[in-house]
């Protein structure tokens, strides 16, 4: 769920409380700050969120505020995750070398699937899991090929672009068995992008 961009801090806390009440104790809640806070605010709010058994606090600070990420991870009793706005292993090095940041969220649009596999390999040597950012129709193949994949993020952003998508049922995603990534664009989508 989103915080930091929809209301003030009290509204964010109330929304988290209401979400926990609505879904009960058996559903994981992941909070996305989307780089909306300083480390000080993220730590203050994270401590308040801990009461609601939050699975993770995502991108609490600016992407290049590595020290802020580490401060949050050390101060909070919840997972602090990030990596979706970083480009490749070099940008993710501070995350890859710190087990206090247990989950990375690399994005296939920032380095490609080969780079994501390399990130996953390095992360696995440090005991870090991978929850790739968005694009589950592509990331499902990555997740099926690495030992440390944990989550596929589905927001339906490209559901109307492809002819057929991986099946998602009961919280599980299944890779297609067609060649390559198995995706084909709908013809009506392509007609606006013809090279003449």
Residues acting as catalytic residues: 133
Q: Are 117 and 143 within 8 A, CB to CB?
A: no
DSSP class of residue 55 equals: S
Report phi then psi at 22, rounded to 5: -70, -40
Phi-psi region of 156 (alpha: psi -120 to 50; beta: other; left: phi over 0): left
Question: Which tokens sit at 54?
Answer: 């939050």
Neighbouring residues of 137: CB distance < 8 A, sequence distance ≥ 6: 158, 162, 165, 166, 181, 183
């Amino acid at each position: 769920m989103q915080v930091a961009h929809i209301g003030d801090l009290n509204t964010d806390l109330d929304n988290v409380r209401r979400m926990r009440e609505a879904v009960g104790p058996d559903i994981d809640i992941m909070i996305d700050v989307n780089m909306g806070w300083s480390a000080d605010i993220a730590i203050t709010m994270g401590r308040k969120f801990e009461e609601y058994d939050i699975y993770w606090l995502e991108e609490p600070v600016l992407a290049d505020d590595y020290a802020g990420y580490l401060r949050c991870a050390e101060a909070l009793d919840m997972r602090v995750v990030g990596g979706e706005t970083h480009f490749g292993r070099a940008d993710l090095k501070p995350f890859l070398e710190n087990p206090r940041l247990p989950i990375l969220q690399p994005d296939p649009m920032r380095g490609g699937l080969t780079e994501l596999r390399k990130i996953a390999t390095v992360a696995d040597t440090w005991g870090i899991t991978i929850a790739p950012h968005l694009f589950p129709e592509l990331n499902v193949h990555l997740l099926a090929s690495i030992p440390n994949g944990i989550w596929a993020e589905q927001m339906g952003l490209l559901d109307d672009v492809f002819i057929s998508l991986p099946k998602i049922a009961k919280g599980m995603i299944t890779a297609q068995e067609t060649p390559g990534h198995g995706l084909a664009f709908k013809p009506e989508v392509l007609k606006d992008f013809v090279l003449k």
